[in-house]
């Protein structure tokens, strides 16, 4: 069904630009004219003309701001001007062309390649390379002297930890790859690159561990990513929506993170990571529902603590989803379930409230969501003011004005906090959204409606798959050995095998028993 949305005819983007199948002619004036026409009306393009020896005209083309001018000065211009004359004479005797002599003996920059087509020149200039054209030579040299303003590696803002690495991904793809590579010094780590987006030409990398990741999944990822044909990829969210299994589902089927250690941990479990240039968020596939409930810190803390925190998270997941609807159902349909004293105080506080419980809850929940959204979008100092006004002033005033009851304020606050306990933001937002249909069901059919809603959600989740892996595995379908890392987190010496659904061919991660024990006495 989703296929119809993916491609609506061919995208017409080449419109207006001249055809660039032409080869470099070798006559520099002609080539320059063509290139200047292509880069018409662009203030950041630089054409630096100079003389190689006395007669030969040469030209450096680059985009100002995307190159490191120090490298251009010291490793390109200076050697060219110094040795240009000698090389020119040498080239008359040697069978090799002038450009290969320059490439091999003069230019000291690390990465140099050559090409013959105008389109290549354009592509390299746009990706930040410096292009050298020489009169009389029908080849161009592409010298890598990239350098632009980059954000330093900082602590990830969305996934803070108490214990664990403080490095987070940046917007620069190569930096991110380095952060992964530094944690996995093995040639088995494969990072395949490709470009997506007809206009943006965004670099995308698919990373996996050969021999651990399931080949079928890697091939499926490759296939789905290669199928993407769009004008631009600005964030990994574009890729996520274009590769997920069921695009009509509310549940996220692709995980994302800005923590390199999390990516590496997932690679070690046989997952595939997709890194996109210009965004610190890398994607992880395949993913299950339970993995989104895990934080990287679970594996760094001691296992008892991690297990308890994990159980707490599941409890609050249920609270985030169901608490308002349970409250509505109890107050509207099943008052007898409440203990008498609690019922009396709830009734007393609701006496002045003119709305039914459902309307009251909807009012509060929607204004809470609005407050949260306002807090996210506003500049930080203003955001604080909003939360103070929202939480304290409005909450307090609306209770004393008799618009909402005090228990409802408690319910909404607990629900709000509960939704923040879920580690994955996309998961949390799903749960928050599902709360609203549950509230309507509770308001119309009571607990029976809530039960039907929960059953519907569960059925939907069992039907979901992420790259062929059932969304609710390892509980449904059940894999008993994988339960060690779902509701509980067993100690590291117990994590003997990888997940069966993801890593099919290479499941063992620990050799023998490494459970620590004290040395034997007298031995």
Partner 1 sequence: MLDRGKISAGQAGALMFTFLEGGVAVIVPASATSFAKQDGWLTIIFAALVGIVVVLLFTNLGLLFPKQSIIQYSEIILGKWFGKIVGLLYVLYTFYLGSLVIGGFRDYVTTTALPRTPPIVVSGPLLFVIAYAVWGGIETLGRVNQLILPFRELIVMLTIFLLVTEFKWDNLTPFMGQGIVPVMKGSISVASLPFGETILFAMLLPNISNIQKVKRYYIVAVVFGGMLLTIAVLISILVLGPAIAARLNYPTHEIIKYIEKLGFLTDMDILGVLIWITSGFMKIAICYYCTVVGLAQWCRLSDYRSIVIPVGILLFIFSIVAYGTIMDDAVFASTIWPFFSFPFVILFPLLMLIIAKIRRLGGRKQKG
Beta carbon nearer to partner 1, 169 or 333: 333
Beta carbon nearer to partner 1, 184 or 454: 454
Beta carbon nearer to partner 1, 23 or 451: 451
> Contact 389/381 with Cβ under 8 angstroms?
no
* CB of residue 478 to partner 1, shortest distance in Å: 6
* CB of residue 338 to partner 1, shortest distance in Å: 8
DSSP secondary structure code for residue 22 in this structure: P
* CB of residue 335 to partner 1, shortest distance in Å: 9
Beta carbon nearer to partner 1, 199 or 347: 347
DSSP secondary structure code for residue 103 in this structure: I
Distance CA 362, CA 222 (A): 44
* CB of residue 329 to partner 1, shortest distance in Å: 9
Beta carbon nearer to partner 1, 100 or 307: 307
* CB of residue 167 to partner 1, shortest distance in Å: 37
Beta carbon nearer to partner 1, 429 or 475: 475
Distance CA 60, CA 48 (A): 5
Distance CA 114, CA 129 (A): 12
> Contact 185/234 with Cβ under 8 angstroms?
no
* CB of residue 126 to partner 1, shortest distance in Å: 48
* CB of residue 364 to partner 1, shortest distance in Å: 25
Using only C-alpha atoms, the chain has a radius of gyration, in whole angstroms, of: 30
* CB of residue 260 to partner 1, shortest distance in Å: 34
Beta carbon nearer to partner 1, 446 or 491: 446
Beta carbon nearer to partner 1, 316 or 333: 333
> Contact 69/48 with Cβ under 8 angstroms?
no
For residue 286, whether the previous peptide bond is cis, meaning omega lies within 30 degrees of 0, is yes
* CB of residue 459 to partner 1, shortest distance in Å: 5
Q: How far are the Cα atoms of 54, 107, 129, 449 from residue 75, in angstroms, in the given order? A: 21, 6, 14, 72
The phi, psi pair for 412, rounded to 5°, reads: -65, -40
* CB of residue 500 to partner 1, shortest distance in Å: 13
For partner 1, the binding residues (CB under 8 A) are 333-334, 336-337, 339, 342, 445-449, 451-452, 455-456, 458-460, 462-463, 470, 472, 475-478
> Contact 444/333 with Cβ under 8 angstroms?
no
**Beta-ladder partners of 46:** 62
Residue 98 neighbours by CB distance under 10 Å: 22
Beta carbon nearer to partner 1, 385 or 458: 458
Beta carbon nearer to partner 1, 81 or 454: 454
Beta carbon nearer to partner 1, 234 or 476: 476
**Beta-ladder partners of 141:** 114, 132
- β-pairing verdict for 255-257 and 202-209: unpaired
Q: Is the alpha carbon torsion for 135, 138, 140, 141 positive or negative?
A: negative
Q: How far is CA 468 from the centre of its chain?
A: 20
Residue 341 has, within 13 A of its CA and on its CB side, a CA count of 0
* CB of residue 453 to partner 1, shortest distance in Å: 9
Q: Helix, strand or coil for residue 175?
A: helix
> Contact 58/134 with Cβ under 8 angstroms?
yes
- Contacts for 222-230: CB closer than 8 Å, 24+ residues apart: 222/192, 225/194, 225/196, 225/274, 226/194, 227/6, 228/196, 229/7, 229/11, 229/198, 230/11, 230/196, 230/197, 230/198
Angle, CA 302 vertex, CA 154 and CA 500 arms, to 5°: 90
């Amino acid at each position: 069904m989703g296929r119809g949305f993916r491609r609506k005819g061919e995208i017409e983007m080449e419109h207006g630009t001249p055809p660039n199948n032409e080869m470099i002619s070798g006559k520099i004036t002609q080539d320059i004219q063509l290139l200047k026409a292509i880069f018409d009306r662009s203030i950041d393009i630089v054409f630096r003309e100079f003389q190689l020896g006395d007669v030969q005209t040469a030209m450096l083309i680059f985009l100002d701001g995307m190159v490191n001018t120090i490298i251009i000065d010291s490793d390109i211009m200076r050697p060219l001007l110094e040795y240009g004359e000698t090389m020119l004479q040498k080239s008359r005797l040697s069978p090799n062309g002038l450009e290969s002599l320059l490439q091999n003996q003069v230019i000291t920059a690390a990465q140099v390649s050559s090409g013959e087509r105008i389109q290549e020149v354009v592509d390299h200039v746009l990706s930040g390379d410096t292009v050298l054209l020489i009169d009389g030579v029908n080849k161009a040299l592409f010298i890598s002297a990239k350098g632009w303003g980059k954000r330093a590696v900082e602590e990830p803002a969305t996934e803070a930890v108490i214990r664990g690495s403080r490095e987070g991904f940046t917007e620069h793809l190569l930096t991110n790859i380095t952060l992964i590579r530094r944690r996995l010094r093995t040639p088995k780590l494969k990072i395949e690159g490709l470009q997506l987006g007809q206009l943006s030409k965004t670099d995308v990398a698919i990373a996996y561990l050969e021999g651990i990741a399931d080949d079928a999944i890697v091939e499926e990822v490759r296939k789905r990513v290669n199928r993407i044909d769009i004008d631009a990829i600005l964030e990994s969210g574009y890729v996520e929506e274009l590769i997920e299994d069921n695009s009509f589902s509310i549940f996220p089927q692709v995980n994302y993170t800005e923590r390199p250690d999390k990516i590496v941990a997932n690679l070690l479990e046989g997952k595939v990571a997709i890194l996109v240039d210009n965004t610190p968020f890398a994607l992880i596939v395949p993913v299950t529902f339970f993995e989104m409930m895990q934080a990287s810190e679970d594996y760094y803390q001691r296992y008892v603590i991690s297990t308890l925190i994990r159980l707490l998270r599941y409890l609050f997941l249920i609270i985030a989803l169901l608490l308002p609807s349970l409250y509505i159902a109890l107050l509207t349909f099943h008052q007898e379930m409440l203990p008498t004293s609690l019922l009396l105080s709830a009734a007393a506080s609701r006496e002045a409230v003119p709305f039914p419980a459902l309307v009251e809850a909807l009012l509060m929940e929607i204004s809470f969501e609005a407050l949260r959204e306002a807090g996210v979008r506003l500049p930080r100092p203003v955001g604080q003011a909003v939360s103070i006004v929202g939480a304290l002033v409005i909450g307090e005033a609306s209770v004393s004005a008799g618009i909402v009851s005090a228990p409802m304020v408690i319910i909404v606050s607990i629900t709000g906090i509960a939704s923040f306990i879920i580690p994955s933001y996309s998961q949390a937002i799903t749960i928050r959204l599902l709360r609203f249909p549950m509230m309507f069901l509770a308001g119309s059919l009571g607990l029976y409606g809530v039960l039907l809603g929960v059953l519907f959600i569960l059925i939907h989740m069992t039907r979901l798959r992420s790259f062929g892996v059932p969304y609710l595995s390892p509980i449904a379908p059940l894999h008993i050995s994988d339960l060690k890392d779902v509701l509980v987190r067993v100690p590291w010496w117990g994590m003997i095998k990888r997940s069966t659904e993801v890593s099919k061919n290479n499941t063992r991660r620990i050799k023998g028993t490494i459970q620590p024990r004290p040395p034997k006495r007298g031995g």
